[in-house]
Structures are given as C-alpha cells and as structure tokens.
Amino acid sequence: MKEWWVQVGLLSVPLLAVYLHIPPPQLSPALLSWRSSGGYFTYKDQNIFYRDSTGAVGSSDVVVLLHGFPTSSYDWCKIWEGLTQRFHRVIALDFVGFGFSDKPRPHRYSIFEQASIVEGLVRHLGLRHQRINLLSHDYGDTVAQELLHRSLQPPMLWLLFVEAVRGRCRFHLGLIAQAYIAPRAISRLCSTRRHRPLHNNRFLFSILQYINQRKQHRDRWVGALMSTSVPLHLIYGPLDPVNPHPEFLQLYKKVLPMSTVSVLDDHISHYPQLEDPTGFLNAYLNFINSF
C-alpha cells in the first residue's frame, strides 16, 4: 500500500488543476454598475480602475478613498452618496492586484508602488496642487502612511484617519492615517476588505508581502504619524477582532495622543463603513466640519 501522503499528493494534483481553471464568479448587478460608472488610467503599463464622482456644488473639497485587504473600492459603496453631498469630488481606486485593476504575475507588490499609483491618479486627474482629504482603511492605511511620509514638508496638510487597521499594524503604529497624496496636496486624512478571488498561492503570497513591509519599515511609517503636525482622527469599531478593544485603543492613544477618536457602537467591528454607514459618515463629517 502506498504511503498515505503519496495518495493525497496524487489526488491533490488534479484537484488543484481543476481549481486553477475555475472561472471567476459572475459579477452581481451592483458590481457591474460600480464598474460601469468608473474608468481606468495607466500606471507603468498597468490598468488601474478608479471612480470619480462630482458632488456638492459650491465646495472645492476633494476626498480620496483607500481600500483595505483583500477587497476593493467597492468597500465605500454605502457611504459614497453621503460623501458626494459634502465633497465636490469623491475619488476611489482599486490598488494594483485588487478589484478591477490589473493583477500582474509575477510581480513584486509593495506599499511603495501603491502609494506611487495614488500619486499617479492624482496627477492624471489634474489634482496635483489641490488640497486633498484622505479616507483609508486597513491596507490602505499603510499606503496612506507612506504618502504621509513623502509629504512631511508641505506647509499645510490636514489628515484624518478613520477606523482601525489590521492587528499587525497595531504594532507598527496602531492605525495609520491617511497620508499625503501629492506635493502640497493633502487636506484631511481619514481611515476605515471583498470581491474578486485571489486565484493562486504565489499571487496571494506576493500581495501579502505588505505584512513584512510593515515590520521592515515600521520606523518610517510610524514615525510619519508621530512627526506630522496635521490633525489625525480615528474611527473605531470596538468589536473589531483584528484590533481588539480596549488594548488597541489604549495603544493608539498612547502613541498618538494628539489624535482625536470616534468610537462607534459596541457591535461595530472591522468594517464600520459597511456595518454602520450612517454612524461612520457622521463621525467622519463631524471631524471634517470641525475645521
């Protein structure tokens, strides 16, 4: 009788082959609508999906939304309309490797590249010298931190940071605020994961290198938050299993005592913008409107 592990291996090969050739699921009507209302720009031969909606008349304020892992810009769907009532332009993108953007393989995915893509989008939209508000979540928080690091010199920046970041990030800084976007371009920064499947292990492993990057560049990204003079704000769900209460909140306040904080209802977890869009939006706008 063959060793059991040989039998398992022989069975696994055809199963894996079948899995890798399963077509992606059909998009829901909501996702089809989301995609059709967006567009693409090119960054180094990569097609990057984004949405850009014009909203409030009489306002010149712009907000750029940075999504988390492993999801896409669709994470902001429940607060999109509310944001357009306050901001002149509401912009979100799918990072390379996520959502409707290209997923090159092999590819060395990095937070640095994602930050450069955000800067590229800002230039593409002609907003390089516009003050910009950042709203970020999870993976997007780290991208925002890198953007913030790049923009420590501009004269006036407003950052607002919403929501919690992944637990590993707690040890880097707690939550990361959104960061700077382009020379002299960031206004307020805020921070707060879901669709297309990640088909192969190498691809997933490559994307997940951001965890090691957080460890490797901890001083750079935590330092950016600690050194900035711009206002920071956190919107937090106490039931978040990734950033457990009360340890996470205590650490955040210790590391960033200058930041203001909004704590949502006790049942709100890691996706406050989806779980409690009204509470989340109110917390964010209260912060924005305080300046």
pLDDT tens track for 187-243: 344 444 333 444 457 788 889 999 999 999 999 999 999 998 778 899 999 999 989
Query: DSSP 3-state helix, strand, coil percentages of the chain (rounded to 5)?
Result: 40, 15, 45
Confidence class for position 164, pLDDT limits 50, 70, 90: very low
What's the alpha-carbon Rg for the chain, to the nearest Å? 19
Phi-psi region of 250 (alpha: psi -120 to 50; beta: other; left: phi over 0): alpha
Query: What domains are defined for the chain?
Result: 28-289 (3.40.50.1820)
Structural tokens at position 177: 């605020």
Q: What's the predicted TM-score (pTM) here?
A: 0.80
Q: Are 79 and 55 in contact (CB under 8 A)?
A: no
Reply yes or no: is the peptide bond before residue 106 cis, omega within 30 of 0.
Answer: yes
Neighbours of 173 (CB within 10 A): 25
**How far apart are alpha carbons 93 and 74 in whole angstroms?**
9
In what helix (H) or strand (E) does residue 66 lie, and over which residues does it extend?
strand 62-66
Token code pair at residue 241: 């299993």
88 has a pLDDT exceeding 50: yes
Tokens of 230: 């711009």
Question: Are the C-beta atoms of residues 148 and 178 closer than 8 Å to each other?
Answer: yes
Q: What is the DSSP code (8-state) at residue 104?
A: -
235-281 tens-digit pLDDT = 999 999 989 999 999 999 999 999 999 999 999 999 999 999 999 99
Structure tokens at 33: 């609508």
pLDDT of residue 3: 63
